Amino acid sequence: MRASRRLHDSQLLTLDLAAALLIAAVYVGFTRMSGGGTQPAYTGPVWAGVLVAAAVGLPVAVRRLWPVPAAATALAGAVIATLLDITREPWTGVGLTLYAVALTGPPRRSVPVLAASLTLAAAAVLTGEAVVTPAETWSGAAGVAAIVWLVLGGGWAAGFVVRARRAREADRATRRTERAIAEERLRIARELHDIVSHSLSLIAVKAGVAGHVAQRRPEEAVDALRVIERTSRAAMTEMRRTLGVLRTDTVAAPLGPAPGLDELGRLADQARQAGVDVDLSVRVPDGGLPAGIALAVHRIVQESLTNAVRHAAPARCRVTVEADLNEVRIDVTDDGVRGPARERPGGHGLVGMRERAMMYGGAFSAGPRPEGGFAVSARLPRDGVGRTA
């Protein structure tokens, strides 16, 4: 990107140099032209004419580097050239430098430069055309001044429009970047929540069991501690993988396979160890699901089981994942006791599941069942075409 930008800038500077040399050469030619009709001719020394031609044309070569000094120099050269009867064109060099002034500077700086340029241009044209060596009437001189104003104002207006367009594009790019950052932060928050919430819920349940039976049934406490150890190690591994991706260059990050349908059995086993009797049913066509959809299914089931462990255990839970050629259906129901915490679906877990479903243009619902317990239902398009919710 930077190399391309430098190449683009060098090409523009080359074009400016070519235009500057051309304008200077044209003005040198003007100094050699003889008068005719009502057009007076330059009668001064050759060296002075060359200096004036250089002052008019060469600032165009550096207009992008030093726009205001370039405009001032070109303006001074054009004023002198007009008063010396050299100018026979509508101040093109000054118009080009005013374009750069408006393009590179804010209006509070470019507008005064434009105003000064228009004032000096009108004064020089009227004086040169109607007073010093009268070649026009006052009305004719005013017409010439209007043409010069059109060139100068047009150059400035073109630069102003381009600057405004670039500012709008930069603002849109900034908003896109901020939106992408916000979406990525939300995605990371969902991932970390799903990892930490599920594992800590199992650890909390098993720690409570171990503390309750440590004295009377030490072997059961040992089993609970083993579950805690396995769960914590698995959570640390997944956290380390996630944080490694965040800390490493995306291209070089060692990415492992994202959790998918193959991991649903492990989630069910962990929930069973925490006191939830899980009946898992997974039916998908041959070929499986797209990776993004499979990850969304895994996280929705994971969070649903986490809620069942946290709020319903001991309980029975049925997890059904079905897919056809068009849709993936996820239904998780349990028969746990209804409680205040489950009546209000406002936690981060339910919000995260809803966001995952909406991200792929799917549907999500969750709430208590009339016969008791809780139900989570999600529908995702099988093709995995996502959209921003």
153-180 residue pLDDT tens:
999 999 999 999 999 998 898 888 888 8
Sequence spans of domains, the chain: 2-175, 261-389
Query: Confidence class of residue 286 from pLDDT cuts 50, 70 and 90?
Result: confident
> Would you state the pLDDT for residue 194?
67
> Would you state the pLDDT for residue 258?
65
> Would you state the pLDDT for residue 245?
55
> Would you state the pLDDT for residue 117?
94
> Would you state the pLDDT for residue 329?
92
Please give the backbone phi and psi of residue 319, each rounded to the nearest 5 degrees, phi first. -115, 120
Work out the number of other CB atoms within 10 angstroms of the CB of residue 74. 28
Q: What is the rounded average pLDDT of the residues 350-372?
A: 85
In angstroms, the CA 289 to CA 266 distance is 19
What sections of the chain are H helices per DSSP? 2-32, 46-57, 67-83, 92-104, 107-127, 138-213, 218-247, 264-273, 291-311, 340-343, 348-359
> Would you state the pLDDT for residue 197?
65
Domain spanning 261-389: which CATH class is it, in words? alpha beta
> Would you state the pLDDT for residue 241?
64
Query: Confidence class of residue 209 from pLDDT cuts 50, 70 and 90?
Result: low
Asked if residue 348 has pLDDT above 70, the reply is: no
More reliable by pLDDT, 126 or 248: 126
Asked if residue 307 has pLDDT above 90, the reply is: no
> Would you state the pLDDT for residue 77?
94
In angstroms, the CA 112 to CA 333 distance is 72
Structure tokens that stand for 63 in this block: 């207009």
> Would you state the pLDDT for residue 254?
47
Asked if residue 300 has pLDDT above 80, the reply is: yes
Is residue 334 within 8 Å of residue 276, measured between CB atoms?
Answer: yes
Asked if residue 357 has pLDDT above 90, the reply is: no
Asked if residue 214 has pLDDT above 80, the reply is: no
> Would you state the pLDDT for residue 386?
47
**pLDDT tens readout for residues 230-259:** 767 766 666 666 665 555 554 444 445 567
Mapping DSSP to helix (H, G, I), strand (E, B) and coil, where does residue 323 land? strand
% of residues, the chain, pLDDT over 90? 33
> Would you state the pLDDT for residue 378?
92
